[in-house]
Chains A and B, each alone.
Chain A
Amino acid sequence: MTTAIRAKGAAKTNVDKFLTLLRVLLIGAISVGLLAFIAQQIDPGNAFAKWTHDGQEANRLTGEQFKGLIVSGLSQGAMYGLIALGYSMVYGVLGFINFAHGEVFMVGAFTGFIMSNKFDEAGLWEGGAFIPTVLFTVLIATLIATGLAVLMERVAYRPLRGSPRLIPLITSIGVSFFIQNAVILLFGAGAKSYPPNPDWLQDDWILGIEGVKIVVIIVAAISMAGLWYFVERTKTGKAMRAVAEDKEIASLMGINVNRTIVTTFAVGGAMAGIGGMLWGLLFRSVIATTGFLPGIKAFTAAVVGGVGNLGGAMAGGVALGGAESLAPLTLLEPLGISGVSQLRDAVSFVLLILVLLIKPTGLFGERLSSDDRA
Chain B
Amino acid sequence: MKKLFSILSVLLAFTLVAAACGSDATDVVDAGTDAVEDAVDGDDDAMEDDAMEDGEHLGDGSLGVVTVEAGDEIQIRSLEAISGDVAFLGLPNQRGTQQAVEDYGQIHGFDVTSGTGLDDLCSADGGQAAAQTIVADEQVIGVIGTSCSGAATAAAPLISEAGMVMISASNTSPALTSDQQGNAGENYNEGYYRTAHNDLFQGAAMAEFVFNDLGLTTAAAIHDGDPYTEGLASAFTNSFEELGGTVTGFTAVAKEDTDMTPVLTEIAAGSPEALFFPIFQPAGDFIADQAPGVSGLENTMLLAADGLLVDGYLELEASEGMHFSGPDTRFGENKNQSTGVSANEFLATYEENNGQAPEAPFWGHAYDATALLLDAIDAASWLDGDNLMIDRAGVREFLNGVRGYEGIIGTINCDDFGDCGSQKITIIQHLDSGDIEGSKANVVFEYAP
A contacts, CB < 8 Å to B: 1-3, 59-62, 64-65, 67-69, 72, 76, 95-97, 99, 165-166, 169, 173, 189-191, 193, 196, 202, 210, 279, 283-285, 287, 289-290, 292-293, 296, 299, 303, 307, 324-326, 328-329, 333, 338-342, 344-345, 360-361, 372, 374
Which of B62-70, B146-154, B251-259, B388-396 is the interface stretch? Answer: B251-259
Residues of B within 8 A of A328 (CB): 262, 266
Known: A76-B259, A344-B262. A285 touches B252 (CB 8 A): no
Q: A190-B312, A283-B258, A341-B266 are in contact. List 7 more A-B contacts (CB 8 A).
A: A69-B262, A72-B261, A193-B285, A284-B289, A324-B262, A339-B252, A342-B251
Contact A296 B262 (CB under 8 A): no
The answer to the question of B15 belonging to the interface, with a C-beta cut-off of 8 Å to chain A, is: yes
Contact A61 B265 (CB under 8 A): yes
Interface size class of B (residues with CB under 8 A): 35 or more
A296 to B10, CA, bound (A): 12
Q: Contact check: which of B10, B254, B258, B316 meets A169 at CB < 8 Å? A: B10
- Which of the listed residues A189, A290, A293 has the most CB atoms from chain B within 10 Å of its own CB? A293
Known: A68-B261, A68-B295, A191-B312. A97 touches B251 (CB 8 A): no
Residues of B within 8 A of A191 (CB): 281-282, 285, 312
Known: A285-B286, A293-B256. A333 touches B7 (CB 8 A): no
Q: How far is the CB of B153 from chain A (nearest CB, A)?
A: 20
- Which of the listed residues A59, A99, A289 has the most CB atoms from chain B within 10 Å of its own CB? A59
Consensus secondary structure, chain B interface: helix
Sample of 12 A–B contacts (CB below 8 Å): A62-B295, A165-B3, A166-B7, A191-B285, A283-B258, A285-B286, A325-B262, A328-B262, A329-B266, A338-B251, A341-B252, A341-B257
Known: A190-B281, A328-B262. A374 touches B7 (CB 8 A): no
Contact A1 B1 (CB under 8 A): yes
Contact A65 B282 (CB under 8 A): no
Q: Contact check: which of A65, A166, A324, A360 meets B1 at CB < 8 Å? A: A360
Contact A325 B7 (CB under 8 A): no
Q: How far is the CB of B126 from chain A (nearest CB, A)?
A: 15
- Over the window 164-201 of chain B, the binary record of Cβ atoms lying under 8 Å from chain A Cβ atoms (1 yes, 0 no) is 00000000000000000000000000000000000000
Contact B269 A342 (CB under 8 A): no
Contact A340 B266 (CB under 8 A): yes
B contacts, CB < 8 Å to A: 1-4, 6-8, 10-11, 14-15, 18, 84-85, 225, 250-254, 256-259, 261-263, 265-266, 268-270, 281-282, 285-286, 289, 293-296, 312, 315-317
A303 to B261, CA, bound (A): 25
Residues of A within 8 A of B10 (CB): 166, 169
Least CB separation from B223: chain A residue: A339
Contact A65 B296 (CB under 8 A): yes
- Which of the listed residues B254, B262, B294 has the most CB atoms from chain A within 10 Å of its own CB? B262
Residues of B within 8 A of A361 (CB): 1
Q: Contact check: which of B6, B14, B258, B295 meets A65 at CB < 8 Å? A: B295
Q: Contact check: which of B6, B265, B315, B316 meets A68 at CB < 8 Å? A: B265
Least CB separation from A289: chain B residue: B256
Contact B18 A292 (CB under 8 A): yes
Residues of B within 8 A of A326 (CB): 262
Q: Contact check: which of A193, A279, A372 meets B3 at CB < 8 Å? A: A372
A19 to B109, CA, bound (A): 75
Least CB separation from A72: chain B residue: B261
Contact B286 A283 (CB under 8 A): yes
Contact A283 B259 (CB under 8 A): yes
Residues of B within 8 A of A345 (CB): 254
Residues of A within 8 A of B281 (CB): 190-191
Least CB separation from A193: chain B residue: B316
Known: A296-B15, A325-B262, A333-B266. A64 touches B295 (CB 8 A): yes
